[in-house]
Amino acid sequence: MGEIFQLLKRGNKSALLAAIINTVISIIKGVAYMFTGNVAMFAETMHSLGDAANQFFVFIGSALSKKAPTEKYPNGFGRLVNLVLLGAVLIVGIMAFETIKEGYHHVVHPTEAGGFAINVTVLAVATLLETFVLFKAMKEVLHEIEVEASGFAVFGKSFANLGRAKPATKLVFMEDLVATMGGLLAIIAVVISHYTDLHQLEGLASIIIGIMMLFVVGKVFLDNAAGVIGQADEEMENKIGALVMADPDVKDIQGITVIKEGEDLHVELEIEVDPKLTVAAADDIKDRLEEKIMAEKGVVDVTIEIDEEDGVMTWKSKNELETE
């Protein structure tokens, strides 16, 4: 039990914060829907409820993925976070389907909902809370990739570097971005529907919110399916390749592979050195490179093979390949 608590302390904090806030939001929206019967509020209730459950599972998965390797699982549990995220998106998918279905019924059979003041107030408060969580996720993205930013610069830099964030943080970011946009859309639909006869707009807003949820499902599924299979991190391969080639005793790199498992990186490297070097000297090179590579963020193990120089330059960085 003590080990579980220690692992939970290392779970993704953004996911935990988002899960707690979305739970509160879903309860408030659910109560408002019971009193008003507003279909846009129903869509937002489903959205927040799905996000809360999803993000809670993400927190648990990100924590358990940090469990130390065992004899039975020598490569560790890094991919567990990808598996949990694959399961979590199913929840969002179901909620998205219900949201679209309810919205369609309202478009076909529009009805005027009451409780205008309640709906607008609840949606406005919920959207502000979602914006707060989104901003925290943005800062977490920048923290993970060690990029400094403040004020409005956080928005631009977090979007530009989202692809480099950890899977759990990326999911929280995307879900809360959609939630914030969905909240604003729901408010607009409620206001227009109240002051006009266009009551179908609430159903249309519900359908659009559901479609946005499905977009998150598709994006997260593709990203984490690749992670479960074992996705190569090309950016880190290029970075480590440059680091290795900077060593004066390394003549060439025959091959380099960086496999991403959840938040962990496994590095396999084959280098060429001067054939005149002694075994002891070659071993010193290997130890030196292992120390440098292990210092890179996310790297959990390094395997290095040494071969003699063959006189043919094999290594080309990603940038060099793109210019050919």
Q: What is the pLDDT of residues 183-205, one digit of tens each?
A: 899 899 889 988 888 888 888 98
CATH number, residue 143 = 1.20.1510.10
Predicted confidence at residue 230, as pLDDT, reads 66
Domain that holds residue 224: 2-229
* Residue where a domain stops, chosen among 165, 194, 229: 229
Tell which wins on pLDDT, 141 or 92.
141
**Residues 84, 179 within the same domain:** yes
**Residues 197, 223 within the same domain:** yes
* Residue where a domain stops, chosen among 229, 252, 270: 229
Q: Is the pLDDT score of 78 beyond 80?
A: no
Instruction: Give whole-number Cα distances, 28 to 59, 198, 209, in Å.
Output: 23, 26, 18
**Residues 303, 168 within the same domain:** no
Q: Is the pLDDT score of 262 beyond 70?
A: no
Q: Is the pLDDT score of 324 beyond 50?
A: no
Predicted confidence at residue 195, as pLDDT, reads 87
Q: What is the pLDDT of residues 133-173, one digit of tens each?
A: 888 889 888 888 888 888 888 888 898 888 777 777 887 88
**Residues 98, 238 within the same domain:** no
Q: What is the pLDDT of residues 282-297, one digit of tens each?
A: 899 999 999 999 988 8
Calculate mean pLDDT across residues 308-319.
Answer: 75
**Residues 129, 22 within the same domain:** yes
Q: What pTM, to 2 d.p., does this model score?
A: 0.68
Torsion of Cα atoms, 127 then 131 then 137 then 141, to 10°: 140
Burial profile 190-212: b = 16 or more Cβ within 10 angstroms, e = fewer: beebbeeeebbbbbbbbbbbbeb
Predicted confidence at residue 175, as pLDDT, reads 80
pLDDT band at 261 (very low <50, low <70, confident <90, very high): confident
Predicted confidence at residue 225, as pLDDT, reads 73
Mean pLDDT of the chain: 82
Are 22 and 52 spatial neighbours (Cβ–Cβ below 8 Å)? yes
For the beta carbon of residue 68, count every other beta carbon within 10 angstroms: 9
Q: Is the pLDDT score of 322 beyond 70?
A: no
Calculate mean pLDDT across residues 211-225.
Answer: 81
Calculate mean pLDDT across residues 61-82.
Answer: 75
pLDDT band at 10 (very low <50, low <70, confident <90, very high): confident
How many domains are contained in the chain? 2
Tell which wins on pLDDT, 58 or 212.
212
Q: Is the pLDDT score of 310 beyond 50?
A: yes
Calculate mean pLDDT across residues 78-97.
Answer: 78
Tell which wins on pLDDT, 235 or 254.
254
**Residues 245, 221 within the same domain:** no
Tell which wins on pLDDT, 94 or 79.
94
Q: What is the pLDDT of residues 235-248, one digit of tens each?
A: 788 889 889 999 98
* Residue where a domain stops, chosen among 184, 203, 229: 229
32 by Cβ neighbours in 10 Å (0-12 / 13-18 / 19+) ranks as buried
**Residues 91, 146 within the same domain:** yes
**Residues 215, 290 within the same domain:** no
**Residues 128, 183 within the same domain:** yes
Tell which wins on pLDDT, 57 or 131.
131
Predicted confidence at residue 289, as pLDDT, reads 92
The C-alpha angle with vertex 175 and arms to 102 and 23, in degrees rounded to 5, equals 75
**Residues 240, 224 within the same domain:** no
Predicted confidence at residue 317, as pLDDT, reads 55
Predicted confidence at residue 188, as pLDDT, reads 92
| Chain centroid, CA 266 distance in Å | 19
CATH number, residue 249 = 3.30.70.1350
**Residues 37, 88 within the same domain:** yes
Predicted confidence at residue 52, as pLDDT, reads 85
**Residues 24, 127 within the same domain:** yes
